[in-house]
Structure 1
């Protein structure tokens, strides 16, 4: 069932409201937000007009919906790598034998479509109102398909989620040649065919579902793309005027591979190919010249800042892997647009903001980075990355994309400042109500026609089925229990 817009003029109020003035957020104690026909008409105190419905959210923060530039949209496989390392030995990279036999899909088409719908419910549950889906290609035959993204558009329309969709494509992949040695395989015609299919998807689905469904281009990782694929993508971005997302500077392996293959750092190479522009969104950017052991002399940050490209900061997944931005404030002060992404389970934007604040301070930015910086990145920063001045803020004329975060759970502690309190003690579980384009898509933690318990059970069944296939695609084909060893020895009950 499609979620429909509320009829008439709706007034929401709470102990705190995040308003917007002079280019930034402001806090309004006991403020009011009024929306009608999908748009915000008033933010402030003492609305003078008539309303058709009043919603008092009580001890809560009403704020703009979060914008997720790298939004988890499958059953997350990165969780399999938490304690199971190295990646080449644990099925995170295909063995040569698997690649030569012909990689296959590890899920059925129906399962892939269902996973998008399931993932979208989790995004909404965490207060995310605009999402750019991301999924792993490790368990795929090659790239993502038209069918599953047609299903994603249908799911977004039904659930009321604002999305930017585009199937991922690539020219190559890595594989394990021998123990500890990673090599590259390229199939450029396959990559270019993927680009053409993605371009056709954009032409077909752009600005559909009443404007909820927009499109983007999604070449996979920079090291798996050839020059012609990236040049062709850049031309398609110019022709279609859609955003493009490319994972970049996320590991020493990637950075050094690009240097070896192309003689330039990743930012240098993208700049050389004409790929960088204000339409480009680059997740991670944690491995940059001068930090993380990278000694290349390229002025990477300056190249990125001058291009207008945006960073999709995903601190949780990077911290799990042992890396972080070396200076969030340094990126910000150079003028790089900073938005946020989740990129892993849970797709909890509040947790990601918390991790972003902690890692920034661990990196030495204690006096230069605040809770407000991360909240701004998750709202205004994402909107700026998308070129949308009608998202990420609560102000008359903006779209009515709103989340309500409860402040009355004893676990959240005492409130001095609502933003700081959320970044200290909050969680995605504290999101109570979500409005997208004037549609109440979640109210008091519940979504229409959505059974989260049943969906979680179905997700576990599909995930277990995928994990069972790992021996076939893992170097030397060990059994599952050897690939994914338990934290502690398991002792079954004896009769």
Structure 2
């Protein structure tokens, strides 16, 4: 039997004419099952139910290809001095004792529930998550991701999943110098687990869950691991995401170990190609690397906010785009807000380019929709057109912070934020309504996240040289007023319900 048609109306609808996004004023989108049946105005057929979102922008759902799956640790590192002294990296003594998990199994799964809820809340309908391996005993596991797939399906988020795997980890020796620890056997076993997950879960839950191959970072992978990844990707037609060209130390290490710069080495291995998704591309070898990216069809996953926090940026978005490189977007940090990444990315690009001619607001919106879909090899995502998947984000245009409206997309990118998203439809199912992700108790979610974040902070002491008291590792932006604050940092009402008070009216 055919599914009943559901119609969505709003003051603005972003449609797709087969080539580009187009704007419909007082537009309509009609859904039939998991697909879009109509985009435009004046749908002539029967509709079981109409939903009028009023003054809102109905957009294709956003695609985040480096979506944070963690409780974000960026806040711990920000303005806190050298990460090497605070347990962000492994110390030699920690490695000798034997690394351990910072979280229990259930806590590992919970961090994805928390992160996936945040993604949906910000209008992201397709995500390829990323987490840090510094907090792990080694890498991710099949059992963990079997549970994560269940969380994604329950919430209704379209995800590309697979356990991350690696052959090595960098650590700090007694002199504070970076060294490499290798375990090839463990890396290949991780790839075997990733293959098993792909074969078991790719296409599950009506296609909402798809598989991907996710080696950790270029500097933590051996040639054997990446060669087998390439072969498996071709056999399974699986996307491969590999972080590379994201730091000067990484580039220098790859040159020393592999005898070539990162992209030249990946080209030699056969990894560059249309199934390759490469965050972040900050440090590349000039025009030769641009040509490698463009000619191979690989996609660069651009995450402007997380790098801007450390004073780095892509040079530049407009330059890469002009060379024909496919650009997608990722968040890779808190908040899970692609609108913020579009805005900051646009401003950064224009500073790097010395003007406003080479990069437009639309270029970033295209990267968050059509570019992400192209990176995944999907012509049914990132657009609203008949036959496309019914993945939709609805952004309210009523916010006072948006100012007077002229162009809804420009207003949203220049002044909006992810939580302007009031409704989300994924695969034809309404997963968020009036800003509430269905089935999620926000206060309970936040309390659990705060309790778990405490465990994360305490784990830093295990990795830091000398195993200092964890309370001494993190410095607040404003100094504590007394000794009590230093002894009891970050005790909040969110994390300690007994200290919560009723709100007092102003």
**Which TM bucket (shorter chain)?**
over 0.9
Out of 49, 56, 73, the position equivalent to 2:45 is 49
Aligned to 1:408: 398
Out of 223, 226, 250, the position equivalent to 1:227 is 223
Q: What are the within-5 Å matches in structure 2 for residues 250-265 of structure 1?
A: 250-265=246-261
Aligned to 1:366: 356
Q: Say which is worse superposed, 478-487 or 181-190, in terms of deviation.
A: 478-487
Aligned to 1:133: 129
Tell me the CA shift for residue 329 of structure 1.
1.0
SS in 1 for 2:436: coil
1:196 aligns with 2:192: yes
Aligned to 1:285: 281
Aligned to 2:475: 485
Out of 149, 154, 166, the position equivalent to 1:170 is 166
Aligned to 2:156: 160
Distance 2:457 2:170 in 1: 20
Aligned to 1:473: 463
Q: Deviations over 1:5-39 (max 9, x none)?
A: x9511111111110111411011111111011110
Distance 2:334 2:341 in 1: 11
- Aligned CA RMSD, in angstroms, stands at 1.3
Residue 183 and residue 60 in structure 1: after superposition, are their counterparts in 2 closer, same or farther (change >3 A)? same
User: Any unmatched runs of 5+ in structure 2?
Assistant: 485-506
Aligned to 2:267: 271
Aligned to 2:495: none
Distance 1:76 1:149 in 2: 19
Distance 1:493 1:149 in 2: 43
Distance 1:206 1:95 in 2: 37
Out of 371, 384, 390, the position equivalent to 2:374 is 384
1:335 aligns with 2:324: yes
SS in 2 for 1:149: helix
Aligned to 1:293: none
Aligned to 2:414: 424
Q: Is this contact kept in 1: 2:88–2:460, CA < 8 A?
A: no
1:355 aligns with 2:344: yes
Distance 1:255 1:117 in 2: 34
Aligned to 1:77: 73
Q: Is this contact kept in 1: 2:61–2:126, CA < 8 A?
A: yes
Q: Deviations over 1:58-116 (max 9, x none)?
A: 11100100011011111112332111221211212100000111100000001011111
Q: What TM-score do the two structures reach when normalised by structure 2?
A: 0.93
Distance 1:315 1:175 in 2: 27
Q: Is this contact kept in 2: 1:249–1:284, CA < 8 A?
A: yes
Q: Deviations over 1:428-478 (max 9, x none)?
A: 110000000100000111122211111011001001112112111112322
Distance 1:353 1:79 in 2: 21
Q: What are the within-5 Å matches in structure 2 for residues 437-456 of structure 1?
A: 437-456=427-446
Distance 2:175 2:419 in 1: 42
SS in 2 for 1:14: strand
Q: Is this contact kept in 2: 1:69–1:382, CA < 8 A?
A: yes
Aligned to 2:20: 24
Distance 2:317 2:483 in 1: 50
1:317 aligns with 2:310: no
Distance 1:182 1:476 in 2: 17
Aligned to 1:13: 9
Q: Is this contact kept in 1: 2:102–2:136, CA < 8 A?
A: yes
Distance 2:324 2:374 in 1: 12
Distance 1:363 1:265 in 2: 24
Q: What TM-score do the two structures reach when normalised by structure 1?
A: 0.95
Residue correspondences, number: 482
Distance 1:346 1:100 in 2: 35
Q: Say which is worse superposed, 410-419 or 265-274, in terms of deviation.
A: 410-419
Q: Is this contact kept in 2: 1:72–1:345, CA < 8 A?
A: yes
User: Any unmatched runs of 5+ in structure 1?
Assistant: 1-5, 291-297
SS in 1 for 2:206: helix
1:88 aligns with 2:77: no
Distance 2:174 2:56 in 1: 55
Out of 194, 201, 205, the position equivalent to 1:209 is 205
Out of 447, 451, 454, the position equivalent to 1:464 is 454
Tell me the CA shift for residue 491 of structure 1.
2.0
